[in-house]
Amino acid sequence: METEGGITVRRALELPGLRGGLPEVLTCEDRLERTVRWVHAGEAPNLPDLLKGGELLLTTGLGLGSRPADQRAYVRRLADRGIAALVVELGPRFGRLPTAIVEAARTAGLPLVQLHREVPFVAVTEEIHTEIVNGHYALLRRAEEVHRRCTEAVLGGGGVPQVLGILADFAGNPVFLETPDGRLLFAAGAGQVGADPLQVWEGLRGGRAARAAPPAGAVLVEVPGGGLGAGSVRARLVLLAVSGPLVTVHRMAAERAAGILAVVLMQARQEDEVAARGRGDFLTDLAEGRIAPDDAPAQAGVLGFRPGGDPLLPVVMRLAPESAPSGSWALLARAVTEELAAVGAPVLVGVRPVEGRVPLLLALRPGTARTALADRVAVALRAGAARAGLERAGDRAPLVVVVGAAGGWASAGAGLRHAADAATAAQGLGERPWYDARGLDIDLLLWRLRDHPDLESFVDRAIGPLREHDRTSRPVLLPTLEAYLAHAGRKAEAARELHLNRQTLYNRLARIGELLGTDLDDPRSVLALSLALRARRHIR
């Protein structure tokens, strides 16, 4: 029987040392499968206070006391400390164990053994300790065998699924790899559970809070991360006790597998990030004219992108600087690539962490409309960002997707550059699934002029009184003007967007005209106000 690295009380009594003392079990024979963690011999009255639990205590009874009350109290204190068993050698102190001791042991659920012959306690201690050490060594050998098999699997080209499969077979129970916040990454089953470990996960783990403790009997081991902090954790390895109990050797094997998984995950992240950066460098070189259009198809083919003669659709996703920590780019590249696979078009995805961009080229297949493809790509990009933890439900979108004009290799570079610049200019605009780069040309022009003092002077002259009003009073006039201009002067639509009745809208528009000293029906005034409202997002 597995004894958590020790031996059982029953096994200790079978060894030659104690067997020579003719042991007689007086109480709790049904509890002889208790684990003996260590052996201690002593006679001191305060001995119970020195024990930690799991000991096999050898004594001649000198410390047990002479009064029945003292004897019962001594036995209760031993039981409270959680010792495995009490072994009393009969002799000068006791010819037979007193009833008070026997009854106290039976009541406390403590195995009590009396020895009818004298035995050398030193020899008994050495013999049992040797057995315990041998048991620990056997556990280490079994755990190291799992480590060896996992190492061979990785060296043979395997990865996380193979390592989890080996551990699941060894434990005879399902094994899961989850993120530190409780999201499932990989699963492996064993035996009958192996057919559907995800069902087990949903039943026993899925409904629990992300950081809740695992179910009773489970084993949880942290997979160390690459951070400098002592608490850096990349993932968590969870073994669930479904087909049978999990014991010490399973934890030992899981700890060794966690070390291998840390290396595998680190290599995967580094390799993925290096490859994604390489593709990003190619797309950036193409955008900046460092790769000739005639040479681009061959270089793209080396990277696995072969669109044939189909038009190319340039797309750039830009992330807010605070939303993309350095360690997330490999995960983002992998998640985005996997999501884009469902789009059904050849795609080349890269990352540019310095600029906070994900540039990509897609083949626009015959019969596919640019708008339809852009819709699917935007959904895939946002889904990939969400999987990488960079866009969460309920949050304001931390990213912008911009789609350029479709064309051949000759125009692909310019299309990527235009989309990249437009994505920068689009930061802070209203939330949309994606932007057409051509529709952002005015914002791009204003963004490029953002540091010019004349632009700020223009904004101040055009809408300065409204900015001052909204700073010192309820900020309603600028949003009202924006809604009015966005709906091309259609008051009914502007009122619906602002959730106002018409009279309130008319009053606000009159106040705006009064403060600005302008006619909101004059096309030139409307143009100036529209430009000023867009420019104020870019000036510092």
- DSSP of 243-296: SS---HHHHHHHHHHHHHHHHHHHHHHHHHHHHHHHHHHHHHHHHTT-S-TTTH
Residue spans of alpha helices (H) in 288-328: 296-302
Looking at residue 494, its amino acid is A
Return the closest-CA partner of residue 184 out of 199, 172, 198: 198
Can you state the angle between helices 441-448 and 523-535, rounded to 10 degrees?
60
CB 277 within 8 A of CB 350: yes
Closest to 384 measured CA to CA, from 431, 324, 424? 324
> How many other C-beta atoms lie within 10 A of the C-beta of residue 141?
10
Q: Tell me how crowded residue 453 is: count the other CB atoms within 10 A of its CB.
A: 9
Q: Is the per-residue pLDDT at 147 higher than 70?
A: yes
Using a pLDDT cut of 90, give the percent of the chain over it. Answer: 28
Q: Quick check: 381 and 358 in contact, CB under 8 A?
A: yes
Cα 513 to Cα 109: distance, rounded to the nearest angstrom: 91
* Backbone angles phi and psi of 110, in degrees to 5: -105, 125
Residue 516 confidence class, pLDDT cut points 50, 70, 90: confident
Give me the amino acid identity at 95: G
Burial class (CB in 10 A: 0-12, 13-18, 19+), 17: buried
Evaluate if residue 149 carries a pLDDT over 50. yes
pLDDT of amino acid 327: 57
Q: Say if residues 28 and 111 touch (Cβ distance below 8 Å).
A: yes
What is residue 302's three-state secondary structure? Answer: helix
- Reported as a pLDDT band with limits 50, 70 and 90, residue 209 is very low
Per-residue pLDDT of 99-123, as tens digits, reads: 999 999 999 999 999 999 999 999 9
Among candidates 295, 299, 386, 292, which has minimal Cα distance to 350? 299
Lowest mean pLDDT among 321-325, 441-445, 480-484, 503-507: 321-325
Sheet holding 55-59, edge to edge: 23-27, 112-115, 85-89, 55-59, 38-41
Query: Whole-structure pTM over 0.75, yes or no?
Result: no
Mean pLDDT of 425-436: 82
Mean pLDDT computed over 44-67: 89
Q: Write out pLDDT tens, residues 308-325.
A: 889 999 999 998 655 555
Identify residue 444 by its one-letter amino acid code: L
pLDDT of 130 above 90: no
Q: Read off the pLDDT of residues 450-460 as tens digits, 9 standing for 90 and up.
A: 888 888 888 88
pLDDT of 394: 41
Distance CA 431, CA 157 (A): 44
Mean pLDDT of 238-260: 86
Q: Return the DSSP state at 193.
A: G
CA distances from residue 471 to 466, 467, 477, 479, 533 in whole angstroms, order as listed = 8, 6, 10, 13, 16
Confidence band for 404, pLDDT divided at 50, 70 and 90: very high
Would you give the distance in Å from CA 446 to the centre of its chain?
A: 40
All domains of the chain in start order, with CATH: 7-119 (3.40.1390.20), 138-204+216-266 (3.30.450.40), 292-448 (3.30.70.2730), 453-535 (1.10.10.2840)
Instruction: Give the model's pLDDT for residue 49.
Output: 87
Mean pLDDT calculated for residue range 475-482: 87
